[in-house]
Amino acid sequence: MIKVGIVGGTGYTGVELLRLLSRHPQVSLRAVTSRKEAGMPVADMYSSLRGFVDLCFSDPADQPLQDCDVVFFATPNGIAMQQAQAMLDAGIRIIDLAADFRIRDRATWEQWYGMEHAAPQLLEEAVYGLPEVNRVQIRNARLIANPGCYPTAVQLGFLPLLEAGVIDTRHLIADCKSGVSGAGRKAEVHALLAEAGDNFKAYGVPGHRHLPEIRQGLARMSGQDVGLTFTPHLLPMIRGIHATLYGRLTRDVDLQQLFEQRYADEPFVDVLPAGSHPETRSVRGANVCRLAVHRPQGGDTVVVLAVEDNLVKGAAGQAVQNMNLMFGLPETTGLELVPLLP
Ligand SMILES: NC(=O)C1=CN([C@@H]2O[C@H](COP(=O)(O)OP(=O)(O)OC[C@H]3O[C@@H](n4cnc5c(N)ncnc54)[C@H](OP(=O)(O)O)[C@@H]3O)[C@@H](O)[C@H]2O)C=CC1
Ligand SMILES: CC(=O)N[C@@H](CCC(=O)OP(=O)(O)O)C(=O)O
């Protein structure tokens, strides 16, 4: 059994990890931390986990995480980087759901995250945990930078087009919408029902911290720098991301065939039949990104529609997928989840 610890178990991605890992056949949950709720039984806070998780939250300062084979950090940005080196030295593997190790270039990371990096020596070693791109490296990794929620949808949507070199890389557009759970569980005015409900707005248009992460990933796929406009929006729903991606075709190609072939062997990417319009509720609670590709009126603009659950394929599910790869398990172990409806 893989001995697992979670730092930050009271947040939305932390509790989603608990939901998935509590039913994972090869996992033994050893520790779940929370500073504020230390001592409280997990099931007292999240009654959905009653009967599935019998641990209490513990304070990260006095928790036996050293006993774990792998530790998930479901913490705000800037926490994992403070503890990563010591854990790796103790032989513990790390999957960070935050952004501490997602960007290779230290100066770029410090510019966008507004803090000094505490473990720059690990930036080179960290593997970006997008299995559809880095599966081989993930298998051998000690430290995984689990991708952001928007970056997962945007990269999976553009991937076949960039690898095939069939779009103009200077003018990519990602028009994205997220449910409010993307902002985490902490109390914030903009996420209140009376603010976010019955409302719709863009944010971060001058520059969102996912922009450099997405640009880095797209540039690796295409082998050159890319020009990207990324506009996130907040939708009055709880879970889900919908990304509408635009690019200009540079040559004629059978787009449907291109997407179907690229993802034919991917267990967690579903290319819908031609003409489809994926909806966020079709992926709710499941570790899947559903894609549809369009070429409106046969013109030279390609439109890709991508949906995922921000907490699953956009965070905790992808993290478990990475753990499966790191420990030599079938990638789908514990992740064969049917989406929730309605
Ligand atoms: N929500 C989403 O859709 C996605 C989130 N992410 C990323 O995952 C990470 C977690 O997100 P989310 O679950 O939404 O966040 P939340 O704000 O909901 O939860 C954060 C968790 O971290 C703990 N925590 C906070 N500060 C510290 C600290 N200094 N040391 C140890 N633990 C701490 C909190 O518990 P306590 O304060 O009691 O210790 C809490 O359990 C973030 O980096 C986020 O950017 C990534 C993809 C998608
Ligand atoms: C709706 C909302 O507020 N979303 C968050 C991003 C989601 C997230 O958690 O960011 P990471 O993937 O980098 O961890 C935001 O825009 O800041």
Complex ipTM value: 0.96
**Helix, strand, or coil (residue 62):** helix
Verify that 260 and 212 share a domain, yes or no. yes
The rounded distance, in Å, linking the Cα atoms of 239 and 313 is 11
Tell me the per-residue pLDDT of 327-339, one tens digit each, with 9 for 90 and over: 999 999 999 999 9
Classify residue 18: in a domain, yes or no. Answer: yes
Task: Establish if 64 belongs to a structural domain.
Answer: yes
Angle at 15 between CA 285 and CA 137, to 5 degrees: 75
Ligand 2 pocket list (CB less than 6 A): 98-99, 148-149, 178, 182-183, 210, 232, 234
Regarding whether 226 and 95 lie in a shared domain, the answer is no
Assign residue 189 the CATH number of its domain. Answer: 3.30.360.10
Is residue 338 a part of any domain in this protein? no
Task: Indicate which CATH number applies to the domain containing 31.
Answer: 3.40.50.720
Residue 331 belongs to some domain of the structure: no
SS (H, E, C) 69-96: CEEEECCCCCCHHHHHHHHHHCCCEEEE
Whether 134 and 194 map to the same domain: the answer is no
Cα 143 to middle of ligand 1, angstroms? 18
pLDDT of residue 108: 98
CB 290 within 8 A of CB 282: yes
One domain for residues 107 and 180: no
Assess whether 122 and 33 both reside in one domain. Answer: yes
- 3-class state of residue 288 by DSSP: coil
The residue whose C-alpha atom lies closest to atom 17 belonging to ligand 2 is 183
Residue 24 Cα to ligand 2 middle (Å): 26
138 and 154 inside one domain: no
Query: What whole-number distance in Å separates Cα of residue 1 and Cα of residue 3?
Result: 6
Q: Is the dihedral of CA 307, 311, 314, 320 positive or negative?
A: negative
Please tell me whether residues 66 and 204 are part of one structural domain: no
Residue 342: asked if its preceding bond is cis (omega within 30°), the reply is: yes
* CB of residue 5 inside a 6 A radius of ligand 1: no
In this predicted structure, what is the pLDDT of residue 106? 98
| Residues 295-300: contacts with CB under 8 Å, at least 24 apart | 295/249, 295/255, 300/248, 300/249
Whether 332 is in a domain gets the answer no
Q: What is the pTM of this model?
A: 0.97
pLDDT in tens, the chain (342 residues): 999 999 999 999 999 999 999 999 999 999 999 999 999 999 999 999 999 999 999 998 876 788 999 999 999 999 999 999 999 999 999 999 999 999 999 999 999 999 999 999 999 999 999 999 999 999 999 999 999 999 999 999 999 999 999 999 999 999 999 999 999 999 999 999 999 999 999 999 999 999 999 999 999 999 999 999 999 999 999 999 999 999 999 999 999 999 999 999 999 999 999 999 999 999 999 999 999 999 999 999 999 999 999 999 999 999 999 999 999 999 999 999 999 987
Q: Is residue 262 within 8 Å of residue 228, measured between CB atoms?
A: no
Looking at the structure, do residues 238 and 280 belong to the same domain, yes or no? yes
Number of structural domains, the chain? 2
- Verify that 161 and 283 share a domain, yes or no: yes
Q: Which domain holds residue 36?
A: 2-147+313-326
Q: Is 176 among the residues known to form the active site?
A: no
Question: What is the pLDDT, as a whole number, of residue 63?
Answer: 64
Q: Cα Rg for the chain, rounded, in angstroms?
A: 19
My answer on whether 139 and 156 are in the same domain is no
Confidence (pLDDT) at 206: 96
Q: 341 lies in a domain?
A: no
* Residue whose CA lies nearest to ligand 2 atom number 15: 183
Whether residue 342 lies inside any domain: the answer is: no
- Burial code (b: 16+ CB inside 10 Å, e: under 16) for 48-78 equals ebeeebebbbbebeebebeebbbbbbbbebb
Q: Which tokens hold the place of 230?
A: 């990324």
Whether residue 173 is found in the same domain as residue 298: yes
pLDDT in the model for residue 335: 98
Task: Name which of 93, 90, 120, 91 is nearest 104 in CA terms.
Answer: 120
Give the pLDDT confidence of 154-164 residue by residue, as tens digits: 999 999 999 99
The reply to whether 23 and 51 lie within a common domain is yes
Decide: 169 and 228 in contact? Cβ < 8 Å: no
